[in-house]
Amino acid sequence: MTLKTVQKLFLCLLLISSVYADKIEVPLREFASIVATQNKVNILIQESVDEEKATFLVGDKDNSIYLPAFKKMLFLKGFDFKEDKKNNFYYIEKIPEKEKEEKKEPEPIKDLFHSMTLKNIVFEDIENLLKLHASTYSYIKSTNTVAFFCKPEFLPQLTHQIESLDVSFPQVQFKLTILETNLNDLKDRGVNLSAYMQTVTPTTTDADTVAQTQSFNYFLNLITMPYTASSNVVETSKTGLYGVLKYLNQEGFTEIKNSPIVTARSHAEASFSSGQNVPYIVQSSSFTQASSTKNDSYQYKDVGLKIVLKPIIIGNDINFDLTLTLEDILSGLDTKTPITSKKELKSSYTLKKGELLVLSGINKETQLDSSFGIPVLKDIFIVGELFKFESKSKTSSVITITIEVL
């Protein structure tokens, strides 16, 4: 397009704009030529501008508006209008597209390593806490140290909770009294016991004497006939109960087998056992060639009474789990495989410090079968029976256990 043609086009544009605003769509290069002519400037245009078109509404006769409007229009089309002041000309260039940065996924937060030396043996409780927040943990027994990995955001709270659990556990003492009453002897001496009960019957109306007598009768029934007692927890007058136990032991009505004091830590088991270690054959083999040999293998089994206590101390209340196991021998120890019986009680109780619990009515039966004779003679065929002696005894008794929280 020649310069004259551009000027004619521009004059037409001005003529039209003098009457009313109109909409004109021209190539961007042609409009740049108009702007250069009206503003008397030199404009350098790249080839990529040829393909662009622009639409203008022309209604203002002021030519000075063309240059800033042209610059803004270029920017909207993706071009930059720059001035070279040194050489006194303008040029148009494509605005380079910004390279899109690839979105990087955030790196996972690494677990932090931390270790704590505990002041008390409380790892069992702390382990339950570590299972919730720590990805990996380990316990070093020699130094009582726990080491673990966990998320940084969990570390302050986790260490605080570990410190709150790292406290010494309170302890409690249990006074146990174990009595065994032979029912066979008790039947024979029942008259004597009834007679003694009559001797302690108050003959006076003195309040203290009546109270002491009633207390004695209550304790006596609690031991000998527990099913008649309304409660097996003694809160006061424990000396009266121990007085009854001492009297029954001295008079031969019952026998105090053991009276230990067991110290237990809160949340930890403490046990007491009393009994026999009975051997029995578990394997017997014999080989007959030129001579016969016999090999017997023995194992040992604990038979008797075992008490396991596991307290949980909360203030003045002592909550404890009680496991009571009673095993008896039903056949003689001279047999190869002695027969035993087993009774077990599992229960939970709550006592306050100073209270006493009485457990009675635990039956025990022991049957002893034994044989002995004159050596050599007892082994003679048929005649040897005359030199053998056999005995059988059966004992029935009742076990009574008192548990006092000191």
Cβ neighbours of residue 330 closer than 8 Å, sequence gap 6 or more: 338, 339, 340, 341, 365, 366, 367
Q: What is the pTM of this model?
A: 0.56
25 DSSP β-pair partners: 55
Q: How far apart are CA 231 and CA 358, in angstroms?
A: 9
Looking at residue 20, what is its pLDDT?
A: 46
Top-level class of domain 112-165:
alpha beta
Give the count of beta carbons closer than 10 Å to the beta carbon of residue 137: 19
61 conformational bin, left if phi > 0, alpha if psi -120 to 50, beta if neither? alpha
Closest by CA to 77, choosing from 99, 41, 58, 51, is 51
What angle separates helix 66-76 from helix 28-39, to the nearest 10 degrees? 150
Are 197 and 217 in contact by the 8 Å Cβ rule? The answer is yes
What angle separates helix 3-19 from helix 28-39, to the nearest 10 degrees? 80
Are 306 and 277 in contact by the 8 Å Cβ rule? The answer is no
Looking at residue 376, what is its pLDDT?
A: 66
pLDDT higher at 6 or 245:
245
The burial of 219, by beta-carbon neighbours within 10 Å (0-12 exposed, 13-18 middle, 19 or more buried), is given as buried
Which structure tokens are listed for 33? 């030529």
Q: Assess if CATH 3.60.70.12 describes domain 3-94.
A: no
pLDDT in tens, 94-136: 777 766 666 777 777 788 888 899 988 888 888 888 888 877 8
Which strand (E) or helix (H) includes residue 295? Answer: strand 292-314
Distances (CA, A) of 127 to 111, 153, 157, 158: 18, 19, 15, 12
Which structure tokens are listed for 386? 């005359």
| Phi and psi torsions of 355, nearest 5° | -85, 160
**Residue 378 DSSP symbol:** G
Are 253 and 189 in contact by the 8 Å Cβ rule? The answer is yes
Q: Tell me what the pLDDT averaged over the chain comes to.
A: 73
Looking at residue 397, its amino acid is S
pLDDT in tens, 178-226: 888 877 766 666 545 555 555 544 445 555 454 455 556 666 666 666 6
Strands 89-94 and 43-44, bridge-based pairing? parallel
Looking at residue 180, what is its pLDDT?
A: 85
Looking at residue 19, what is its pLDDT?
A: 46
- Report whether pLDDT(332) > 80: no
Task: Name the band, by pLDDT with cuts 50, 70 and 90, for residue 285.
Answer: low
| Phi and psi torsions of 228, nearest 5° | -90, -10
- Following DSSP, what letter does each residue of 48-73 receive, concatenated? GGTT-EEEEEE----GGGHHHHHHHH
Are 91 and 43 in contact by the 8 Å Cβ rule? The answer is yes
Task: Name the band, by pLDDT with cuts 50, 70 and 90, for residue 348.
Answer: very high
Q: How far apart are CA 135 and CA 41, in angstroms?
A: 73
Are 259 and 177 in contact by the 8 Å Cβ rule? The answer is yes
Domain assignments of the chain as residue spans, ordered by start? 3-94, 112-165, 176-405
Give the count of beta carbons closer than 10 Å to the beta carbon of residue 173: 13
Instruction: State the greatest distance between any 2 C-alpha atoms of the chain, in Å, as a whole number.
Output: 159
- Report whether pLDDT(288) > 70: no
Looking at residue 307, what is its pLDDT?
A: 92
